[in-house]
Amino acid sequence: MSPQLKSVEAIGINNLKRKSNPFSISVDDFFSEKKVLKNRFTQLIEAPDPEYIAIIPSVSYGIANAVANIPFLKGDEIIVLEEQFPSNYYAWKQLEKEKGVVVKTITAPPISKDRASRWNTDILNTISKKTKCVAIPQVHWADGTLFNLREIKEKVAQADGYLIIDGTQSVGAMPFSVNEIQPDALICGGYKWLLGPYSIGVAYYGERFHNGTPIENNWMNHIGSENFTNLVNYNHLLKPKATRYDVGESSNFILTPMLSEAIKQLLEWKPANIQEYCKSINQKAINTLLENGYFIEDAANRGHHLFGIYLPKNRDIETLKSKIKSQNISVSYRGNAIRVSPSVYNSKEELEKLVSCFI
């Protein structure tokens, strides 16, 4: 997870204290900060309308709403990737038991210069008339491999299927345009590249979900909830578009303004600039690793904010782990990849210090 911006931390502390004087929290406060968060996320992902955005507690929650509102039939196929994040896998796999669908996992090709291209081609070639859903990330969480979502969307649309994207590993650090890609859903945990706190996220749900049934009925996702006096008179009509998928207590007076503040900063920095900065501090370090026999996906086919290092056969991973730890460097180990996730808080010198552990 990302470190927290000082401004985000300050807002969290200030809002934590508000609960000590609950009479200072007004009726309007239950809705005002939610609107700010949705407006900012709408700008970040170039979505058409803040009402296409839902506030969620986790990726698994966002995926569950999508799963519950896609009309699956026995024999329908769902496409996922090898070793993608579990929260975008388990729910789809459960459908095999419940609905008799088939989950097709597209494995990563062997290490080679055209690995990413071959992986994308394999996805496209697997999409057929039976494909009901493609559920993948923008970049793979283990090694940053980039997937051509626009081409994948065009192909799956021909089968009248759905494109469900877990954007947690990229949105905020890498440009993403709903207007360009046209996904049916984009689901993001807030704790990573959105630079927000844990246990809150945001999701975009396209028009095919706007008349759906949420996985929970809470008082706030029903029409008329702004009128507290009238809450005793139940209104069973759900709010329009994606607002119906808001988690209960989405007003969260601590986490919601924190995530909103984090996205405000990202809008100022711009994800494209973050990518360029990461590229500038990575380039020399990555070239050195490549020259010494390590494999890293080609720059055009991965994120600059997240990349995986694959070891030559003659390198011992445990020895390398000890060396990296002794230098007080934090990386992740995902499958066979050593995952490096730099951002604006890193420097070129830090990347070169990491590389010194490998050489």
Q: Supply the pLDDT for residue 16.
A: 95
Nearest C-alpha neighbor of 65 from the set 191, 220, 224, 243: 243
List, for residues 63-74, the tens digit of each pLDDT value: 999 999 999 999
Q: Supply the pLDDT for residue 344.
A: 96
Q: What band does 138 get if pLDDT is binned at 50, 70 and 90?
A: very high
Structure tokens at 67: 């799963």
List, for residues 242-263, the tens digit of each pLDDT value: 999 999 999 999 999 999 999 9
d(CA 305, CA 277): 9
Q: Supply the pLDDT for residue 178.
A: 98
The CB density around residue 298, as the number of other CB atoms within 10 Å, is 14
What is the rounded average pLDDT of the residues 185-206? 98
For the chain, the average pLDDT equals 96
List, for residues 164-174, the tens digit of each pLDDT value: 999 999 999 99
Q: Supply the pLDDT for residue 223.
A: 96
Percent of the chain whose pLDDT exceeds 70: 100
Task: Determine the straight-line distance between the first and last CA of the chain, rounded to whole angstroms.
Answer: 27
Does pLDDT of 3 surpass 90?
yes
Q: Supply the pLDDT for residue 238.
A: 97
List, for residues 32-56, the tens digit of each pLDDT value: 999 999 999 999 999 999 999 999 9
What is the rounded average pLDDT of the residues 79-108? 97
Domains of the chain in start order, with CATH, are: 6-269 (3.40.640.10), 271-356 (3.90.1150.10)
List, for residues 295-308, the tens digit of each pLDDT value: 999 999 999 999 99
What is the rounded average pLDDT of the residues 321-341? 94
Q: Supply the pLDDT for residue 347.
A: 97
Buried (b) or exposed (e) across 309-324, using 16+ Cβ within 10 A?
Answer: bbbeeeeeeeebeeeb
Residue with tokens 């793979």: 140
Q: Supply the pLDDT for residue 128.
A: 98
Does pLDDT of 314 surpass 90?
no
